Structure 1
Amino acid sequence: QQDKMHNNEDIQPEDFSQFIERFHSDSLFQQQRLSESLVLFDSKIEVQVPPGGDKYDASYSWTQNDVIVNLLEVNKNKQNPEYHTELMFISDSVICENIFIPKSNRTYLLEFSRVERKWLLTQLIVNH
C-alpha cells in the first residue's frame, strides 16, 4: 500500500501552496528549485550597453550568489508587514508572486513555472 502512495505522489503535480511556503522558509530547498534558465533582473546592477548599440542590445550578467542574496532579501521582506503579497495565476503551470510596498517602486516579482510536476523559480525581478 505504501508503494501505491509513493507512485501516486509521483503522478500528482506538486501543490503550489505547500511549495511556496517551503520555498520561502527553506534556503536549501530554494536553491534546488531554481530553474537552470533563471532570468534575474535587479535594478541595482548596471546593464552593459555595447558601443553604438541601444538598450535592446544591452547585456545583463549575474551570478548564482546574486540570486541567493536577492532571495534572502525577498524572504526577509515577505515577513515585513509593510510588504504585501499577491499571487497572479497566469496559467495552470505559471504563477507569479508579487511582493511589494504599496504606492512605492519597491517590488519583487517571482515567476514560478511547473516543470515535470515540480515548481521552479524561472524569473526574479527586483526593483529597489
Structure 2
Amino acid sequence: MRDSLEAKLEVAGFLERIINRSTYSQKEIAEMCGFNTPNIITMLKQGSTKVPVEKIPALAKALDIDRVEFFELVMKNYRPKEYEVIVEIFGEPISDAERAIIKLLRQVIPAGQLVNNTNHYRNKIREALEN
C-alpha cells in the first residue's frame, strides 16, 4: 500500500493540471463548489488538504471531468479499503463515457442477440476497436 503523502500528491498533481487548464479562476471554481474561500483550491492543488468526498460531484462539474473517474482516483488514494468494499458490494463503477457506450451498444445490437451471441459481438467490438 502506498503511503499517505504519495497518495495525496497523486490527487494533487491531477487537480493542479486540471485546474490550471480550466477557463475558470480558482475563485470561480471555489464558488461553484460551495467552498467559503478560494484558498481551498490552492490547498487541494498542493496536496495540503484532501478533496472532501462530498465535493467530488461539484468539483468534477466545475472542472469538466468525469465524476466517476474522479471519485475512483480520490477514493483509491485517500480511502482504499473503503473503496474496495464499495467495489465488492456494487461492482466496478461505470463512468458517464462508458455508460454512453453501453447505451450505443444497446441501440445497435438487436434485443436478445447479445445474450445468444456474446462471443460473436465481443469479437466484433474488439475488431472494430483494433482497426
Report the TM-score range of the alignment, normalised by the length of the smaller protein: under 0.3
Q: Which has the higher contact order (CA 8 A, sep 6+)?
A: 1
> Which one has a larger percent strand, Structure 1 or Structure 2?
1
TM-score (norm 1): 0.25
For the pair shown, the structure with the greater C-alpha radius of gyration is: 2
TM-score (norm 2): 0.24
